[in-house]
Amino acid sequence: MTTETELMLKGYGLTTAEMTYHMPDYPHVLNTYIWQDYDLAPDHDRLLHFIGFWRDTLDGVLHSVRYSHRKLIAPNEWRNVVGEFRYH
């Protein structure tokens, strides 16, 4: 299993999607669902996979999807510290 830090170092960023959908029992009523996962821009494979899962499995028809993507750390912002110096 890959840790969140390893994903961020590989270029993944946090993707947040707000999905507005029609309630199955009340089709004129809209509801929202918030989804978050680490994903690669600009393809957003994980987000598209989840939208496909939603369409194939869930009863609520999607009305719209708004998303944002933010890289929390970039590979050039990370430094591997190999040693430590102590000064008294």
27-73 pLDDT per residue, tens = 999 999 999 999 998 899 999 999 999 999 999 999 999 999 988 76
Output the pTM of the full model: 0.76
Whole-number Å distance between alpha carbons of 15 and 30 = 22
- Domain membership of residue 77 (yes or no) is no
CA–CA separation, 50 vs 30, rounded Å?
A: 19
In a domain, 37, yes or no: yes
- The number of domains in the chain is 1
78 lies in a domain? no
Residue 45 lies in a domain: yes
pLDDT of 80:
67
Question: What pLDDT score does 48 carry?
Answer: 96
Short-list 47, 37, 48, CA closest to 72: 37
Return the DSSP state at 60. S
47, part of any domain? yes
State how far the Cα of 48 lies from the Cα of 66, in Å rounded to an integer.
12
| Residue 20: inside a domain | yes
Band of pLDDT at residue 26, cut at 50, 70 and 90: very high
Please report the pLDDT score of residue 75 as a whole number. 56
Q: Domain range spanning residue 58?
A: 12-70
**pLDDT(23) > 90:** yes
What distance lies between CA 18 and its chain's CA centroid? 11
